[in-house]
Structure 1
Amino acid sequence: MLIAAGSELMRSGLAAMVGRLPGVEHVQECADPVQAVTLVETQRIAVLVTSPPLPHGDFEVLAAGAARNHARTLVVLRDYDLPTPEVVAQAVAMPADGFLLESELTASTLADTLVRVARGQAPVPPSLAQGLLSRLRSVESEPIRRQFLLTPRELEVLELLVEGLSNKEIARRLSMSEHGVKRHVGAVLAKLNCPNRTVAVAFVLQKGLMYVR
């Protein structure tokens, strides 16, 4: 696992917390985004944990390098309290596989989030998810419905993807089979022309496309 953050305090704190988690065999710290890119592209790293401040361009390159080497990216956002519009906007711009808020960071939340990220889920803290959904719900539904021809059920699935739910959790929420959810997720990804659910969520957030139930 690689910890890459501009703040030495955050970097060392995360490394110490991750190092005490069961099942974690090796933890590296890196303060230099360029060196971090080299590490994620040349070494077998399962999860990249990073936290601002990192220059936006450096983060983009780092996240892209992690994705090329099949590493997941978890971002710890600094919020200090409830997520502000600035924190929400920052999350929208980041192609991450999951998020944690610094104010909610504990050994338990970190362990749970890392497990979910490793499983291919897209964990988002509830308070941040509420901010994201509030931002999305301020936009009319017609653009995404008309442009991408999503069905009402596909739109429901997309909203739950934005909340970071797994296929099993979506199936439970919508009273569907997991097979049915998998089929709808595949249809959503195909219509949005996105290779995976994380990219689809980032695309929807960045474009401001969403619907109101």
Structure 2
Amino acid sequence: MIRIVVIDDHPLVRKGIEMVAGLEQDIQVVGFASNGAEALEQITSLKPNVALVDLRLPGEHGLDIIKKSRKVHKECKYVILTSYANEIEIQEAMKEEVDGYILKEALPEELIAALRLVVKGRKYYDPVVVQFAMGQNSTGEEDGISRLTPREMEVLGALSKGYNNKTIAEQLVISEHTVKKHIGQVLEKLNLKDRTQAALYAVSKGIGKK
């Protein structure tokens, strides 16, 4: 059973998620929270499999709540459920290694599929988020992926986790200069603009998954 805690201050959103989950035999909403304090209490006591977290709560940010919640329940998967998608917040979410990023406009079946994926250890980023961050331009990516070297694939996988150049260099035991060269090659071969696009592309393809 996938047990969910919903962290959102909008009653209609909470009720909607509860209704959607209620149609599935393997998914159950076990708790609700409208702020960080309630979220910590619910996650600590209920030990859910997944926490759906709104980015913008009154006086608080969802990522701050996720950081605090991970200290009390590391095994929980944390998925952002928000109405917004901008590049800065997407970057911050990836640095925090959230397990998913879903827009509230998603179809119910998309939300259900995302929950089942993240519980299995996969990451899920809403296709709309990926398209937005990648500037709607995917020309050449499928051809490019086959041209990546094994090392470039490793670098791409590290980017999917939001790692900076120093961390990638330490993990792969190479210099930061070499990391920059590999990233440049990845961007060129995949026809991508920057490392954020590369990271989202990797997540969307399951590259670098845990």
Q: TM-score, with normalisation over the residues of structure 1?
A: 0.59
| Residue 78 in structure 1 maps to residue 93 in structure 2 | no
Partner of 2:131: 130
Q: Distance in 2 between matches of 1:9 and 1:23?
A: 22
CA distance in 1, matches of 2:39, 2:91: 22
Q: Which residue number in structure 1 is paired with residue 15 of structure 2?
A: 12
Conserved? CA contact 1:37–1:65, under 8 Å: yes
1:106 aligns with 2:107: yes
Tell me the equivalent position of 1:203. none
SS for the counterpart of 1:93 is helix
Between the aligned partners of 2:89 and 2:23, the Cα distance in structure 1 is 29
Flag structure 1 segments of 5+ consecutive residues without an equivalent. 136-149, 163-187, 195-209
Q: CA deviation at 1:28?
A: 1.3
The ranges of structure 1 where at least 4 consecutive aligned residues each deviate by more than 4 angstroms after the TM superposition are 55-58
Unaligned runs of 5+ residues in structure 2 are 137-149, 172-185, 190-210
Residues 90 and 190 (structure 1 numbering): CA distance in 2 closer, same or farther, change over 3 Å?
Answer: closer
Instruction: Tell me, in whole angstroms, the C-alpha distance in 2 between the residues paired with 1:20 and 1:60.
Output: 29
Post-superposition shift, 1:23? 0.8
2:99 equivalent to 1:66: no
Q: Report % sequence identity.
A: 13
Mark the CA change 1:151 to 1:134 in structure 2 (over 3 Å): closer, same or farther: farther
Is the 1:48–1:72 contact (alpha carbons within 8 Å) kept by the matching residues of 2?
yes
Tell me by how many angstroms 1:157 deviates: 3.6
Aligned-residue offset at 1:156? 4.0
2:87 pairs with 1:88: yes
| RMSD, aligned α-carbons | 3.3
Please identify which structure carries the higher strand content.
2
User: CA distance change for structure 1 residues 191 and 41 in 2, over 3 Å: closer, same or farther?
Assistant: same
Once the two structures are overlaid, the 10-residue window that deviates more, 118-127 or 21-30, is 21-30
Q: Residue 152 of structure 2 aligns with which residue? A: 152
Change in 2 beyond 3 A, CA 1:125/1:152: same
In structure 2, the residue matched to 1:36 is 39
CA distance in structure 1 between the aligned counterparts of 2:41 and 2:134, rounded to whole angstroms: 35
Offset at 1:126?
A: 2.0
- Secondary structure of the residue aligned to 1:45 is coil
Q: CA deviation at 1:35?
A: 1.1
CA contact (8 A) 2:36 2:60 kept: no
Greater fraction helix: 1
